[in-house]
A = this chain, B = another copy of it.
Amino acid sequence: MIVVMKDGTTNEHIDHLSHWLNEQYGIHVNTVVGTGTTVLALVGDTAAVDKDALLRDPQVDRITKVQEPFKLANRRMHPQDTTVEIAPGVVIGGKKIVVMAGPCSVESREQIIDVAKHVKEQGATVLRGGAWKPRSSPYSFQGLKAEGLELLHEAHKETGLPVVTEITNPKNIELFMDKCDCFQVGARNMQNFDLLKELGQTRKPVLLKRGFANTMEEFLMSAEYVMAGGNENVILCERGIRTYETYTRNTLDISAVPVLKRMSHLPVVVDPSHAGGIYWMVEPLAKAAIAAGADGLIIEVHNDPAHALSDGAQSLTYDSFQETMTSIRRIAEAVGREV
């Protein structure tokens, strides 16, 4: 941690502050006197030092943290790639690119089983589908809830595909434990710390979506919440961020793929459906994601998008999903991987 002092700070002041830091936190302070500016370089376990409190010192001008605040998710602590096994043989983060596909919402037994069969046939190895649906409007369809979860489980039994589905309330964790293979934490809940902490107590994989206005550092801090509980099976998911551009629903932050892979050892997947918000962008964004190094994709596919109960605009039909899979395969090969 680097503390920049204001011009004209006295030596007494600096001595006093250094003494206090040492006493309070066991920190050793190196004073570097420059032309016009003095900086204090703090050495020791500075994670505990309260930056806010230091900023109250009337002679402190600015503070810079030198160490990243996430530890367990940090690649420095764990240089090898982590792989997360969602089900036997379905591993995220290895050579094989994993495609998770399915409808935005589970709507009926027929629908979810039909979609599951079709996406499996095209090469998807995980079934996605929403049972609890967080919606901006209280007047929109909120999902089939427990019934939806049950239907996902039936689709799993029918097809063998492991299931990833969104959880929005810690009180439902027990219910989910036997019915799905991977929890999904949605963008709006990325900083629902109560939920993250309780998921950290399980050992089931967590697909953590980046909040649409969260930095990559905050994203990794949320992964850290889950990992700090002992659950290291975290999959990071970039799904578009909020910017001033209104043509697309969100702006897919494609740079997040190489950056997250560099900062962290956790696997990274991309959601091209929510990022663009419209079906014709799914294929180009999916291809870009794989080209940039993503370990997987989560894609919305619907048997009848025009009559979907939610997010129909961005869902692929069976035909367009098939085409998308074909193009993805080519890109995967071009980067030395396979689908």
Do residues A291 and B331 form an inter-chain contact, with CB atoms below 8 A? yes
Does A13 interact with chain B (Cβ within 8 Å)?
A: no
Contacts of A134 in B (CB 8 A): 191, 193
Residues of chain B with a CB closer than 8 A to A291's CB: 284, 287-288, 290-292, 331
A208 to B243, CA, bound (A): 21
Q: Are B67 and A36 in contact (CB under 8 A)?
A: yes
Q: Give the contacts of A1-47 with B (CB-CB under 8 A).
A: 2, 4, 7, 30, 32-37, 39, 41-45, 47
Q: How far is the CA of A292 from the CA of B312 in the complex (A)?
A: 23
Contact B188 A137 (CB under 8 A): no
Query: Given contacts A32-B32, A215-B244, A284-B258, are A168 and B193 in contact (CB under 8 A)?
Result: yes
**What's the nearest-Cβ distance from chain B to residue A291, in Å?**
4
Given contacts A192-B188, A252-B255, A330-B334, contact A244 B247 (CB under 8 A): no
Interface flag for A228 (CB, 8 Å): yes
Q: Scoring A residues 52 to 68 as 1 if CB is less than 8 Å from chain B, else 0, what string do you get?
A: 11011100001010110
Q: Is the CB of A52 within 8 A of B275?
A: no
Contact size range, A:
35 or more
- A6 and B32 CA atoms in complex are apart in Å by 20
Contact with B along A285-304 (1 / 0, CB 8 A): 10111111100000000000
Copies in the complex: 4
Interface of A is mostly: mixed
Contact of A90 with B by CB under 8 A? no
Residue in B56, B69, B213, B334 whose CB lies within 8 Å of A334: B334
Residues of A within 8 A of B (CB): 2, 4, 7, 30, 32-37, 39, 41-45, 47-48, 50-53, 55-57, 62, 64, 66-67, 69, 76, 134-139, 168-171, 188-189, 191-194, 197, 211-213, 215-218, 221, 224-225, 228, 241-248, 251-255, 257-259, 262, 275-276, 278-281, 284-285, 287-293, 305-314, 327, 330-331, 333-335
What are 15 of the A-B contact pairs (CB < 8 Å)? Answer: A34-B43, A35-B44, A39-B41, A52-B312, A52-B313, A53-B306, A56-B279, A251-B253, A251-B255, A254-B254, A258-B284, A259-B281, A288-B289, A331-B335, A334-B334
